[in-house]
Amino acid sequence: MLTLLNKSLEKWMPLITPISVMIGLAAGGVLSPFTSWVPWIFALMTFAGSLSMNFRDMQRVLVHPLPILVFLFVLHLVMPLFAWGAGHLAFPNDPLTITGIVLVLSIPTGIVSFIWVSIYRGHTALTLSMILIDTLLSPFIVPYTLSVLVGAKVEMDTVGMLTQLVWMVVLPSILGMVLNQLTRGKVKQAWSPTLSPLSKIGLAVVIIINSSVIAPLITEWNMKILYIALICVVVVAAGYLLGWLAGRLLRLDRDMAVCMVFNCGMRNVSVGAVLAISFFPPQVAFPTIVGMLTQQLMASLFGYLFFGRRGATQLPELPRDVGNPS
């Protein structure tokens, strides 16, 4: 039954995010008291996704660390600064919206980037290493980036944010990877049939709760909200463009260029939404909701523009068990 449920959820995955957002907005804040559930649900999702990862691929890639160093430079220096500049130009008197935009481009890369790198025949070992390293560094990078860029105007609990990232992302990831390493992949085969559908359902629940929190802010779709959404779309798109530009400037091989584009473009926006709801006023969460709705569409668009339809292959089996599709 769980296997059939998982296949059905995979089939409808492109619609789960927008439907969940609409349900949360329709709830109108009723589900806000359940925000304390979100970090625990997300920890389960992270653990399920990490069962497909191990440390061996990272060891192989670290022999040539330049692509990873460039990736971290683009992801956590160039792009947050771009978001900060775009936010100040578009919303000079709205520090909460600026914080939300910076948060979108400060959170770690999303594990779903592995799917797109596999589809376009990119360097999958490098992708997994980027995801792992960025995940482990996120408790330090994300709070520090926000503190430097927006901390002077928006009060934030940096220590609390670091602690939540450790419990919600880092520890579940390490636990899943260690189990995968010790069992030589058997734990994934044994547990994924159960955890995979639960993770997809968990994602929907997280999105519904987070959308419900920001629902009171969207009493009507006025021009300001549409303008914020448009700027957020531009900022998300810039991630793919900057990743492509970095690959061109470094003259990376095609497989590494694919890796750079999707890992720079895709973010773990679910993490961003959880942090926004937990540590900031609700206005900060709106850009992360827009990111949830658009980044998959952006991945499809820029994958076609940069690498063409002929460069794509069928979806591989491994990512089907990835628990965190953000």
**The pLDDT of residue 325:** 44
Lowest mean pLDDT among 92-101, 164-173, 228-237, 313-322: 313-322
> How confident is residue 203, by pLDDT bands cut at 50, 70 and 90?
confident
The CATH T-level fold of domain 23-321 is: Na+/H+ antiporter like fold (1.20.1530)
Question: What's the one-letter identity of residue 49?
Answer: G
Residue that is written with structure tokens 């925000």 in the block: 35
**The pLDDT of residue 156:** 67
What is the torsional sign of CA 82, 296, 5, 54? negative
Give dist(CA 102, CA 234) in Å, integer.
13
Mark 13-30 as b/e (b = at least 16 C-beta within 10 Å): eeebbeebbeebbebeee
Stretch 2-15: mean pLDDT, rounded? 70
Stretch 269-277: mean pLDDT, rounded? 82
pTM for the model stands at 0.77
Residue 122 to residues 79, 113, 182, 299, 312: CA-CA distances in angstroms?
Answer: 22, 11, 27, 14, 10
> How confident is residue 318, by pLDDT bands cut at 50, 70 and 90?
very low
Query: Does position 61 have pLDDT exceeding 80, yes or no?
Result: no
The domain segmentation of the chain, as residue ranges, is 23-321
> How confident is residue 319, by pLDDT bands cut at 50, 70 and 90?
very low
Query: Does position 65 have pLDDT exceeding 90, yes or no?
Result: no
Query: Does position 52 have pLDDT exceeding 50, yes or no?
Result: yes
Number of neighbours of residue 252 by Cβ within 10 angstroms: 18
Query: Does position 242 have pLDDT exceeding 70, yes or no?
Result: yes
> Helices 286-307 and 13-27, interaxial angle, to 10°?
160
